[in-house]
Amino acid sequence: MTKARYTQLLKEEAQRLGFLSCGISKAGFLEAEAPRLEQWLRDDRHGKMGYMANHFDKRLDPTLLVPDAKSVISLLFNYFPEAEQQDPEAPKFAKYAYGTDYHFVLKDKLKQLFQYLEEEIGTINGRVFVDSAPVMEKAWAAKSGLGWVGKNTNLIAKSTGSFFFITEIICDLEFDYDGPATDHCGSCTACIDACPTEALTPYQIDASKCISYLTIELKDEIPSEFQGKMNNWAFGCDVCQTVCPWNRFSQVHQEPAFQPKEELLTYSAKDWEEITRETFDVIFKKSPVKRTGFDRLKQTFRFLR
C-alpha cells in the first residue's frame, strides 16, 4: 500500500469512530515551541503543577516517547452539549465534565483505530495518548492543520470552534502529511477581556490564576485573592471558550457517553449545597469530577459562597 492509501484508511476510520477531524504531522523536535515552553516554566506560569517541568525533552520530541516514530496523528473529538445547567445561581461545571470521563471513552476509540490500522496494514509500533504523557497536543494539532492556538491558548478550528478534546497516536508508519492552519484571532480580545481572574495575555496563560487550575489542579486551598472572582465556577471554567466568536459554529456532540446525569443539569444552588457523598458518587460516577473528590468540591462550594 502507498502512504496515500494509509492516510485514506486512517481518516475514513477516524470519521467512522466519531472523531471530528484527523491531521497528521511528521514526528520531530518542536523547535519553535522549545523556547516558549522554557520561558513559561521559568516564569512559574505553571503554578504548582510541578509535573509540567518534568520530561522537558520528551514534551518536545515524540521520538523519545515512541522509538523510531515517524508520524504524530492528531484527532479531535467534539464534546459540546445540547443542554446546560438550568439554575444560573448554581455552582458551575465545565462542559467537558458533563458526562463520562473522556480518558476512558477516547482511549477506547483510539485503541480501536490503532487495531484497525494493524489489521489493514500490519504490525505498527506506536502508542495512543489521551492526556496520558508529556505530549504538546495543541502544538501538534496546529501543525497538522486542525486549527490554530488562539489568544486563549486553546486550539480553535474555523468550522467547529474549540469545544473538543485532542488526542494522539504516535507511530512508526509514514503518511501523507498535512500542513499547519493559519491564525484567525485577528484583533479580537474577547477571551482576554472576559477572563474573570485575568489569567490571559495574548497567546499565553498564567495557569496559577486560571479557574480550571484553581478548582482542579491546585491541591491547596484556593488563595483568598480570588474570592469573588470565580464567577461561580466549581469545576473548570468555560468563559474563554464561551465568548470566543468561533464557537458560534459549535455543533452538539453525538457521543452517548458524554450525556450528563439529569441532576447535573437540574440541581439548584440549594441542592448542590446539601449534596451528600452518596449522591456525589451517583451523579459523578466515571466522571472527571471524581478526580477532585467530594471533600474538595464541597470546599470549593464554600469558597464560592
Whether 124 and 171 have beta carbons less than 8 Å apart is answered as yes
CB proximity list for 241: less than 8 A, separation 6 or greater: 152, 154, 161, 162, 163, 191, 247
Which grid coordinates belong to 223? Answer: 488563595
Please report which residue ranges of the chain form alpha helices under DSSP H: 3-16, 33-42, 56-60, 102-121, 137-143, 190-194, 211-212, 239-242, 262-266, 269-273, 277-283, 294-304
Annotated catalytic residue: which of 131, 172, 176, 183? 131
Rounded to 5°, the CA angle 297-299-303 comes to: 115
Whether 81 and 98 have beta carbons less than 8 Å apart is answered as yes
Whether 278 and 91 have beta carbons less than 8 Å apart is answered as no
Rounded to 5°, the CA angle 163-266-288 comes to: 45
Beta bridge partners of residue 127, listed in sequence order: 170
User: Dihedral of CA 56/57/59/60: which sign?
Assistant: positive
User: 70, 71, 168, 166: which is closest to 128 by C-alpha?
Assistant: 168
| Exposure of 76 in the CB half-sphere (CA atoms within 13 A) | 27
3-state secondary structure of 264: helix
Catalytic site includes residue 87: no
Rounded to 5°, the CA angle 101-102-108 comes to: 110
Catalytic residues: 131
